[in-house]
Copies of this chain bind each other. A is one copy, B any other.
Amino acid sequence: MVAKESKQRGRPRSFDRDTALEKAIRSFWEHGYESTSISDLTREMGISAPSLYAAFGDKRALFEEAVTVYGRLYGGFITRALAEEPTGRRGVERALREAAAEYTVPDRPRGCMVISAALNTAPASAEVAASLRQKRQQNVREIERAVRADIAAGDLPPGTDARALAEYVSAILAGMSQSARDGTDRHTLEAVADLAMNAWPRTEQPAPDTP
């Protein structure tokens, strides 16, 4: 995919595809799918419409690619936190904490692109909305898996409702994204994340090893 087999034959592309895609990501992230017009994109990407269509297909395909690359570059922190931390609690705690930072990086669109890029669901872009919803639900299932692992490990009470706890975490994440879009600063969002973790169920006995 990346390695070019041999020299291209025709006239070479006069712009850097990755740079242009990055600009497209920023545009979609900032304004959402519908509200980002082709002329917005060509202006931001610094290319003409025919070049855009030649390089990326159509608006829909460009958006799909933007979401994919966004996930790799900016949206992976939740998955990473859950995978790298020893317990679900630590993973979620880190994910929430990192969200506070990620959602408020200066000179970058605030909040989560997947959460906010297609909330206005016009019939014409219903497929886009459905695709993003699926991604969010996939994320919830990922969190739920981490919760179940904690229950199995005895780090959470056996009666814990894993589905609800996962939905709760997903909701607070969406809420923080929303809050960030409205201008809430990083410090306040971190305080929100701390508070949210107080809701994490406590085990009856702290540890059964100290007699």
A interface residues (Cβ-Cβ under 8 A, vs B): 30-35, 115-123, 133, 136-137, 161, 163-165, 167-168, 170-176, 178-179, 181-184, 188-189, 191-192, 194-201
Given contacts A136-B182, A168-B191, A170-B179, 14 further A-B contacts (CB under 8 A): A32-B122, A34-B120, A35-B121, A116-B120, A119-B178, A164-B191, A164-B194, A165-B195, A167-B189, A171-B172, A171-B178, A174-B174, A175-B176, A175-B178
Q: Which 4 A-B pairs have the closest CB atoms?
A: A171-B175, A175-B175, A164-B191, A32-B120
Question: What is the interface of chain A mostly: helix, strand, loop, or mixed?
Answer: helix
Bound CA span A199–B193, Å: 10
Cα(A189)–Cα(B140), bound, Å: 13
Partner of A174, one of B117, B165, B178, B189: B178
B121 touches A120 (CB 8 A): no
Task: Please give the count of copies of this chain that the complex contains.
Answer: 2
With both beta carbons as reference points, the residue of chain B lying nearest to A132 in the complex is identified as: B182
Minimum C-beta distance from A153 to chain B (A): 20
